[in-house]
Structure 1
Amino acid sequence: MQRASSPTNEYVYELDRQYVFHSWSAQGRLDPLVIAGGFGCEVWDFAGRRYLDFSSQLVNTNIGHQHPRVIRAIQEQAATLATIAPSTANLARGEAARRILARAPAGFSKVFFTNAGADANENAMRMARLYTGRRKILSAYRSYHGNTGSAIVATGDPRRFPNEFATDHAHFFNPYLYRSEFDARTEEEECRRALHHLRRVIECEGPGTVAALLLESVPGTAGILVPPRGYLPGVRALADEFGILLILDEVMAGFGRTGSWLALDQFDVIPDLITFAKGVNSGYVPAGGVMIAEKICRFFDERVFPGGLTYSGHPLAMAAIVATLDAMEEENLVGHADAIGRELLGPGLKRLADRHECVGEVRGLGLFWAIELVADRTTRAPLPSAQMARLKAALLARGLLAFVVDNRVHVVPPCVVSREQVLLALDIYDDALAALQR
């Protein structure tokens, strides 16, 4: 293929289709959107067509596209020290860890850096198994924890089915009142019955075999399932009762997404390990990690931790973390996400639910919302996939990039989104839903 004198949508599309193997896809059916650049909450192609990004890509560009401060920090770090082994002490790595721990609950003392959220969860599970001397990990059916060996088996959704090679995993149902597994009618009933169910799973799996409970603080890909207020403290109490560690996965929900620095801040719970990635530096350079409680850090003072990664704490990624967290603090982006969600986005989505019969429920926090679409409000039958594909195409045709999962549209703009952009997006959702029903 001969390179065009200047890039075009057609050239980049053909280049991709000829040489790139995509994730989660049958390769012959792909029709990827070409993106040339972006800034803030917008991206565009080589022909100049602009899109409002209400997907934050994979719910990771919390600080928006091409934030000048983060780009400058990466450039400056590249000019100083582009890479170094993780066994060394590095200024950017230390500063990144210090800033992350400043956002952790009391009692957390160190950070183990990884390359993404999946290997963060892998290493948190490894730490829990070594610390407790037990093997089993319990996680929710409605969850996603990554696509590496143990993380995909800890994942509850069907993507684990062709990947179940890791051992010592079991699952339970987490709260989801709209489609309750417990015949609950209120949040209180759902919470109480979900905790009883989890107790029985622990008892039936054998409390002495369980190393950790692994939960997303607010399950993201599974549907943005905001837990009842007493649920996470109840899980903490069960973990303490049976000598089990609690790992909270903040990969998608953390660093401003829910209108707080960490989603767990809103639920009166302190886990033993916290995993993170995505929003910590908006994915500008791949990075993730595990925040580790002091008691677990002490355990490894005289014991070798048998894990490591060539790019753990990579300087470019660490510089991006430092700049991202500093910019988020100075620009009050976490408070902005909270205010926009409470005052504008949440109420606007609830008005859409009132207007459109195909909307079964809207739910969320901060800038982390889901519109659940149904074929029938009485039976709550999910809207068929063909109609969801039509809706996604209608949103794209109207200039909005949407994050669509099963029968849901996840409304997850960057934390820098303006009120004007939220109002525009609400109008686009409204128009596309109306067109779908016509």
Structure 2
Amino acid sequence: MSTLSPNPPVLRLLAVGNAGLALLDALADALPGVEAIAVNTEDAALTAARAAGKISLENHALAGLGTGGDPDVGRALATEHAARIQAACAGADAVLLLTGLGRGTGSGAAPVAAEAARAAGALVIAVAVLPFAFEGARRERQAQRALERLAEFAHGVIAWPNESVFQFVSETRPVAEVLREVNDRIAAGVAGLGRLLTRPGLLAVNLPEVVSVLRDAPARAVLASVTTAGPQRAAVGVEQLLAHPLLREGAALTDCGAVLVGLAAGRELTLAEVNTVMAVINGLCGAARVFVGATEDPALGEALQLTLVVAQPVAATEPPASPARSARPASRAGAAPELGGDFLDPQAAPTARGTSPFRGAAPELSPERVQQLASRRGRPRKGLPRMRQEQLPLQLVPKGRFDAVEPTVLDGQDLDVPTFVRRNMALN
């Protein structure tokens, strides 16, 4: 890692793949003076990227059309151009790597790019967007494998599951609007983190502190940011922040290991506003390590931006399911009930009648009724005629090859005669 000077660290943005380039575009001019580098396999997207430096992972076989969703292709191409990526990151104290995982370029090239940036001497913080559930199990598996590899080379990884978007937007909105909403929210968090690192701080946060928070949640830190204005901007802002879907209405703070709080204001930030925000955060965090940074940015005008980076357990980072999406569809009339694994398991213990999916619970009986039914057990029902077994007038047929065989007689009974006939048993 490079030696940090008393001056603000040199920050560089490194966007990998189409999703990374989309985040770079959403950032627009939020971080003036920060150099951006775009890395992609698709020439058309790379040409339109808003970046000072552009690295095409070119290959004659691909003809500039991309990886076809294959991470192995993306990894191989990035490895060929790793030296160029490392050279582009040279001189940076920190690199914010922006990417989307699940497809070919992001999943394959992003870990290689993180390794190259780290080799250049920079602290690498990756922001990775995870795919929607409807994109399929294969893409989800590719994203998870890439996330693990990314965590091997980056100093910290912030994961944003796209599935969380259903907590704050309607499913009836156009896809293009939803994707812009996702990119804008992620970009706001990245901008808030970038401001803390690059602008002179009223309350300074240094790179080792940021990395310390991220190391508490390898590959699973959460980034959330809100911007508010008005006389009660601090109180309103912290309320909106806790309502963020990734923070699970503040529950993410109660079980976190560490949290970084960033405040950025366009006009004078008061001590009362800092106290208002931190009183709520500290009250929820308990014994967690809390780092706070504050800075001023004239570009925010009258607004106050609050940014949180939260390190929490892996199991707690899954986005809460939307009630509309998690509810099962209504059962069709007459449809068979859903079978559990125990029903198909021959070793499973017998299921009680009351819990069977095919019949209801047995009716409640009083002790008197139970005794009455028990006393009648085995007695014929009143009013019903007794059944008698009649002998059918069947014609006897010869026994074929056994016609001359002596019958098997035991205790005076012919065992060749069926038992129910010999014993005059009635068949119901």
One fold, TM greater than 0.5? Answer: no
| RCO higher in structure (CA 8 A, sep ≥6) | 1
TM-score relative to the length of structure 1: 0.30
